[in-house]
């Protein structure tokens, strides 16, 4: 298939992997930010082609994984209300809250609908004027423009029974948090290509300068990722710390100005808690004051306060790249995709779920506890 096959070509993959092996003279640790990239790396086995001196750590870029548990609880609570039609992307439905997930809310009688676009939720609201339609707006800068468009459309068409339960997050503040944290191991970043397709690459230049770290904007196919790693390794070997764009077929320097303008109109930057990580300043989007009428938390009350929980889940360490999924004591035992203890085991983009699904007992898997690649 065009634009797929050429990026999954075994021969080309081998050539890039050989280049990486030749150029990497020292051990390096590189983090891919985006859960989509984590999934692709583990699914296609990209990491198994890399030299052992190279360590890939999987970043917090899975929107499902980092949505705070109190927002899942709020979603479940709203979804149980008889007047509500609760709309969500599919992979949020299985994320466990403290008491239930949205699939259980549906089984308990809640009107929970899986939609493929927030615009579908606006249509459902227009068709059901006597019901309250709530869309669960999660994700990074990639999902934010469509969610913003849904609010703008609802406002323009006077669809007042539509609202967003918003848990939008932003990538650069999370990278800043990872780089500033004590014990940081990350020496280079693969930035999320689709986030940059919206936001452009400008936000990453101060990060690269301040932390002297190479950042390569990278796509999602196996060859994209290998090429991103190759560019990153070359910068590390040459002592450079620049923002490079591997994903030029999708990412322009300025991003998508129309989408950015829409974000600035509908949303404002706010502090946000990340599941497994904690609060990061200026790392989220909430509805701007003039669109506050579309805020589900104003309509149905704010999300409950976060509570400390006793748990064996080491999501915080895994999302920061300190632990490998299989180094967690619960991995594959107490914690499985059927009964996840933490968010990274829930979404197909979560690092733990990706390892559990594709790598659980493949022979190449390194011994327990070893610091291993990928």
Residues 84-143 that bind other proteins (CB under 8 A): 89-94, 96-101, 103-104, 106-108, 113-116, 120, 138-140, 142-143
Which of the stretches 126-134, 244-252, 261-269, 348-356 binds other proteins when contact is defined by CB under 8 A?
348-356
Concatenated DSSP letters of 59-88 = EEE-HHHHS-HHHHHHHHHHHTSTTEEEEE
User: Residue 66 and residue 156: Cα distance in Å, rounded?
Assistant: 31
Q: Count Cβ atoms within 10 A of the Cβ of residue 39 and give its class: 0-12 exposed, 13-18 middle, 19 or more buried.
A: buried
Residues 264-303 that bind other proteins (CB under 8 A): 273, 275-282
Residue 354 CB, nearest approach to other proteins (Å)? 10
**Pick 70 or 132: Cβ nearer other proteins:** 70
Is 325 a binder of other proteins (CB under 8 A)? Answer: no
Our finding on whether 69 is near other proteins (CB under 8 A) is yes
**Whole-angstrom distance, CA of residue 58 vs CA of residue 76:** 29
Q: Which one of 152, 334, 366, 372 is in contact with other proteins (CB under 8 A)?
A: 334
> How many angstroms separate the first and last alpha carbons of the chain?
28
Among 194, 211, 324, 373, binds other proteins (CB under 8 A): 194
Q: Per-residue string for binding with other proteins, 145-174, x by CB under 8 A?
A: ----------------------------x-
Handedness of CA 167, 172, 174, 180 (dihedral sign): negative
Looking at the Cβ atoms of 106 and 235, the one nearer to other proteins is: 106
Report, in Å, the least distance between residue 27 CB and other proteins: 21
Order across the sheet with 84-88: list the strands.
111-114, 84-88, 132-139, 162-169, 278-287, 267-274
The rounded distance, in Å, linking the Cα atoms of 124 and 209 is 47
364 scored as a contact of other proteins (CB under 8 A):
yes
CA-CA distance, 135 to 88, in Å (whole number)? 6
Q: Which of residues 9-68 bind other proteins (CB under 8 A)?
A: 9-10, 13-14, 36, 42-46, 48-49, 63-64, 68
**Of positions 270, 358, 366, 372, contacts other proteins by CB under 8 A:** 358
């Amino acid at each position: 298939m065009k634009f797929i096959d050429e990026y999954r070509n075994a021969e080309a993959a081998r050539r890039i992997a050989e280049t990486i092996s030749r150029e990497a003279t020292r051990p390096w640790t590189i983090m891919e930010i985006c859960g989509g990239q984590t999934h692709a790396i583990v699914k296609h086995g990209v990491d198994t082609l890399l030299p052992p001196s190279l360590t890939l750590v999987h970043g917090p870029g899975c929107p499902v994984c980092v949505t705070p548990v109190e927002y899942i609880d709020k979603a479940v609570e709203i979804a149980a209300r008889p007047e509500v039609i609760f709309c969500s992307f599919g992979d949020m439905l299985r994320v466990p809250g403290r008491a239930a997930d949205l699939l259980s809310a549906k089984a308990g009688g809640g009107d929970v609908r899986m939609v493929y676009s927030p615009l579908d939720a606006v249509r459902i609201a227009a068709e059901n004027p006597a019901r309250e339609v709530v869309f669960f707006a999660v994700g990074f800068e990639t999902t934010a423009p469509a969610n913003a468009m849904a609010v703008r459309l609802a406002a323009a068409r006077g669809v007042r029974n539509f609202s967003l339960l918003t848990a939008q997050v932003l990538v650069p503040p999370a990278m800043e948090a990872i780089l500033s944290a004590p014990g940081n191991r990350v020496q280079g970043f693969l930035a999320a290509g689709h986030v940059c397709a919206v936001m452009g690459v400008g936000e990453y230049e101060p990060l690269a300068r301040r932390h002297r770290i190479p950042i390569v904007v990278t796509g999602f196919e196996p060859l994209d990722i290998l090429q991103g790693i190759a560019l990153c390794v070359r910068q590390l070997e040459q002592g450079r710390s620049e923002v490079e764009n591997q994903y030029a077929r999708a990412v322009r320097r300025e991003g998508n100005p129309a989408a950015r303008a829409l974000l600035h109109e509908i949303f404002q930057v706010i502090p946000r808690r990340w599941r497994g990580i904690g609060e990061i300043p200026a790392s989220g989007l909430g509805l701007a004051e003039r669109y506050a009428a579309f805020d589900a938390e104003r309509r149905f009350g704010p999300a409950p306060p976060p509570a400390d929980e006793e748990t064996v889940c080491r999501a915080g360490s895994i999302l920061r790249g300190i632990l490998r999924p299989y180094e967690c004591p619960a991995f594959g035992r107490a914690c499985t995709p059927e009964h996840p203890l933490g968010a990274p085991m829930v979404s197909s983009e979560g690092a733990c779920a990706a390892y559990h699904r594709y790598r659980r007992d493949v022979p190449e898997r390194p011994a327990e506890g070893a610091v291993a690649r990928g």
